[in-house]
Amino acid sequence: MLHRRAFLTTTSLAAASLAAPGLLRGARAAETALVVGVPLPISGAFAANGKFAAMGAALAAEEAGAALGRKVVTRDIDTEGKPAPAARKVQEAMGEGTRLFAGGILSSEALVMGKEVAKGGGVFFTTAGADEITGQECNRGTFRWSVPTYGAIAQTVRPLIEQMPQAKRWYTITPQYVFGEGLLTAAKAVFQEKGIEHVGNSYHSLAEKEFSGYLTNAIAAKPDVLLILNFGSQSSDTLRQAVSFGLKKRMTIVLAWASGLEQFEALGPDLCEGVYFGAQYWHGVDAPLNKALVAKLRETRKMSPNYSFAASYLLTKLLIDAATKAGTTEGPAMIKALEGLTYAGLTGEEEIRAADHQVIKNYYLLKGKAKSAMADKDDFVDIVGSGKSFLTPEAAGCKMT
Amino acid sequence: MTYLFQILNGVGLGMLYFLLAVGLSIIFGLLQFVNFAHGAFYLLGAYLAYEMVERGASFWAALPLAALAVGLLAGLTEAVLLRRIYKQPHTFHILVTVGLALVVQEFVIIVWGPIGGNLPAPEALSGVVILGDFVYPEYRLFVIVFTAALAAALWWLLESTRLGAIVRAGSESPENMALLGYDTLRINTAVFALGAGLAGLAGALAAPIRGVEPFMGVEALSIAFVVVVIGGMGSYAGALAAGLVVGIAQSLMATLWPEGARLVIYLGMAGIIVAMPRGLFGRA
């Protein structure tokens, strides 16, 4: 007979190994190659994002290798989406000589990796969203491409309030960790400024999969707008369940931080139709570098780039270009090459702000279109707005160290 | 009024949790076998139903077919692989079934990709029931009714039929059953297939609510274990009661203390372990 204590001990051990198999894939670089470490959640709940991001980084390395005539490789590092393994594995990679890192999808893992890389004299370029990354926790070795929470709210909530002056009651659903708090704080500030009644908020944990309870709360508050502030599969689950509760017919649904194409593919056009999405990137953006990437990917891989792929591609490309310009991968020279750089990016002209290492780029407001209106299988949304909204480095609280 | 709806919502959740856990409980109760591949069978059930509907099949056909396919596959796995390790220590059971779960998970990623998909609720149940200011999806109501009917049928099968008696006797004393001329190996295979088939059914039923994605099995497994531990390992009534308790508690907490809605599941499990070490309905 299996005893309860033995059952619990062994099952918890096994559960841990199931949830985090720690798959480590990717190239082990030769000594002479230019190596870009790509620390991403390749296993766990955010693995889908990690796998596309790894592909994007690999493409950038492949292109650079061909252009430069030298070996350029990426080294995939599975962060498991958790700060502790992320920090440990990045330390290991630095111990083996890697100085350049492009990755970090979750804010919690990105914050610790940025610190580790900066401490070790390297450069870390990330897409994670928490304000602190280029705010209070900024450091000389960390750069961030994606628009932080302030800009995401400014480019989604603000224009929608102007478009829908009659929608005065907003309800929010928020994951309780740094990223969610950042979005919620920014949203509350806009609500207050615009005279919007914030009729309620439901916090939930980062592991939550079931949102019906929170949606019941939202229904009870009778909002005009449901603002979903979580990310990845959680935001897909929230939206799917909100639609099943008939909320699309009762209120406007806004998902402030969508992952773009990969998320729309998982949801399908019926769920996306009429829903507003905030996004860092969309393959339909009219920018030369983006058009070239889209054309190449459609020709070679029969796919359109999604956010994870495109962002990782760009980060890796920026690091390789800077290393080539600097003639080294060591931190000080790399930082000098990147600070203040203006370049033709995936969202048009982009600039790496020297004071806080935040890339100044567009954020997009998208609206899901009907299946019948889609021009091709990836044409899920229309771009209904875009713009650049950023706190000043001082207001963001960045004191560069 | 909000609380009333949270309870209704909790019942819906609880029935789904019951269906998830009951297969695990049956397998544990009758085979004394800790099956960490249970979540993988749930995952497969969801994806098979999704694939069939994507290829044009009706959801009503996909639901039983997915469960049946998972049951058959599980039966085959039991006959070829798992029965060889029954007599080994439980760590072997865990090692092999965790490995099996990872193989299934990677298989799903290879075949269907890392991005999930959406399986819409059948047209006839895609609406909502409106009750005053509140709404409840018709499909979730169907899940409650369907699972309740299934629970009754399973109860009858295990408690009131000759087959059920053979299965229960097989779990109590396989040697005596073998002496009486029963093929206990076949009974074990059938029980394992039934338990896994129920997980597959739960996956197919949950897919219109949760969508499908390659890591859904891990979450399902953790909920199933919590329900089995609270209800009492191997107890059918315990799985039902614990499923409902967990579902209602989780849903009510979404109003009372939203941040703790998920935490309460695990706190509840810890509390039960301290207060009632064998679970609500566990056998001595």
Residue A279: beta bridge partners? A258, A364
Nearest residue of B to residue A9 by CA position? B91
DSSP class of residue A284 equals T
**B15 shares contact with chain A (CB less than 8 Å):** no
Interface of A with B in 12-71 (CB under 8 A): 13-15, 17-19, 21, 44-45, 47-48, 51-52
Residues 6+ apart with CB under 8 A from B275: none
DSSP class of residue B281 equals S
Contact B264, B248 (CB under 8 A): no
Contact A334, A349 (CB under 8 A): no
Interface of B with A in 148-207 (CB under 8 A): none
CB contact under 8 A, B254 and A202: yes
Residue tagged 């070829």 (tokens):
B80
A151-279+363-389, what's its fold?
Rossmann fold (3.40.50)
B interface test, pick of A8, A23, A244 with most B CB neighbours within 10 Å = A244
**A209 shares contact with chain B (CB less than 8 Å):** yes
Q: What tokens appear for A13 in the block?
A: 């051990």
A96 to chain B, closest Cα gap in Å: 29
Q: Chain B residues with CB inside 8 Å of A7's CB? A: 34, 90, 229, 233
Q: Chain A residues with CB inside 8 Å of B102's CB? A: 18, 21
Per-residue model confidence (pLDDT) at position A195? 94
CA A58 and chain centroid, separation: 18
Please state, in angstroms and as integers, the Cα–Cα distance from residue A262 to each residue in A53, A84, B20, following that order. 11, 27, 28
CB contact under 8 A, A220 and B34: no
Q: Are strands A276-279 and A342-345 parallel, antiparallel or unpaired?
A: unpaired
Give Rg (Cα) of chain A.
21
**pLDDT confidence tier of residue A2, bands split at 50, 70 and 90:** very low
Domain ranges of chain A: 27-147+286-357, 151-279+363-389
Please provide residue B195's backbone torsions phi and psi, each rounded to the nearest 5 degrees: -60, -45
pLDDT mean values, one per 10 residues, chain B (284 residues): 80 90 86 89 97 95 97 95 87 92 92 88 88 85 94 90 82 78 86 94 94 89 89 83 89 76 80 81 64
CA A268 and chain centroid, separation: 20
Contact A319, A330 (CB under 8 A): no
Q: Give B127's Cβ-side CA count (13 Å radius).
A: 3
Contact A40, A101 (CB under 8 A): no
Q: State pLDDT tens for residues A167-219.
A: 999 999 999 877 898 899 999 999 999 999 999 999 988 778 889 888 988 99
Q: Chain A residues with CB inside 8 Å of B116's CB? A: 48, 233, 236, 266
Nearest residue of B to residue A222 by CA position? B133
Helix, strand, coil share of chain B (percent; to 5): 75, 5, 20
Q: What tokens appear for B48 in the block?
A: 């098979």
Residue A364: beta bridge partners? A279, A386
Per-residue model confidence (pLDDT) at position A197? 96
**A271 shares contact with chain B (CB less than 8 Å):** yes
Pick the CATH number of A27-147+286-357 from 3.40.718.10, 3.40.50.2300, 3.50.50.60, 2.40.110.10: 3.40.50.2300
Q: Chain A residues with CB inside 8 Å of B222's CB? A: 15
CB contact under 8 A, A11 and B94: yes
Q: State pLDDT tens for residues A363-394.
A: 999 999 999 999 999 999 999 999 999 999 99
B interface test, pick of A8, A177, A214, A216 with most B CB neighbours within 10 Å = A216
Look at residues B7, B11, B22, B6 and name the one whose alpha carbon lies nearest to residue B157.
B22
CB contact under 8 A, A51 and B136: no
Whether ipTM > 0.85 holds is no
The four Cα atoms A352, A357, A360, A364 give a dihedral, to 10 degrees, of: 130
Q: Chain B residues with CB inside 8 Å of A209's CB? A: 210, 219
Per-residue model confidence (pLDDT) at position A14? 52
**pLDDT confidence tier of residue A314, bands split at 50, 70 and 90:** very high
Q: How many Å apart are CA A26 and CA B218, to the nearest integer? A: 25
Please state, in angstroms and as integers, the Cα–Cα distance from residue B57 to each residue in A95, B54, B91, B117, following that order. 54, 7, 41, 16
- Per cent of chain A over pLDDT 70 is 92
Pick the CATH number of B2-275 from 1.10.3470, 3.40.710, 1.20.1280, 3.30.1490: 1.10.3470
DSSP class of residue A206 equals T
CB contact under 8 A, A213 and B127: no
Look at residues B241, B24, B203 and name the one whose alpha carbon lies nearest to residue B104.
B203
Q: What tokens appear for A182 in the block?
A: 């950042």
What's the one-letter identity of residue B115?
I
CA B1 and chain centroid, separation: 30
Edge-to-edge strand list for the sheet holding A348-352: A342-345, A348-352, A359-360
Positive or negative torsion for Cα B257, B260, B262, B266: negative
Per-residue model confidence (pLDDT) at position A9? 52
B277 to chain A, closest Cα gap in Å: 8
CB atoms within 10 A of CB B160: 10
Q: CA angle, corner A39, sides to A37 and A41, nearest 5?
A: 155
Per-residue model confidence (pLDDT) at position A168? 95
pLDDT at A29 over 70: no
Contact B44, B203 (CB under 8 A): yes
Q: State pLDDT tens for residues A96-146.
A: 999 999 999 888 899 999 999 999 999 999 998 888 899 999 999 999 999
Q: State pLDDT tens for residues A241-292.
A: 999 999 998 999 999 999 899 899 989 999 999 999 999 999 999 999 999 9
**pLDDT confidence tier of residue A398, bands split at 50, 70 and 90:** very high
Contact A46, A99 (CB under 8 A): no
The rounded mean pLDDT for chain A is 89
User: In 3-state terms, what secondary structure has residue B261?
Assistant: coil
Q: In sequence order, what DSSP letters do the residues of A307-350 get, joined into one string?
A: HHHHHHHHHHHHHHHHHHHHTS-SHHHHHHHHTT-EEEETTEEE
Q: Chain A residues with CB inside 8 Å of B137's CB? A: 244-246
Q: How many Å apart are CA A354 and CA A111, to the nearest integer? A: 19
Q: How many Å apart are CA A314 and CA B186, to the nearest integer? A: 58
Per-residue model confidence (pLDDT) at position B194? 93
CB contact under 8 A, B102 and A6: no
CB atoms within 10 A of CB B55: 8
Same fold, A27-147+286-357 and A151-279+363-389: yes
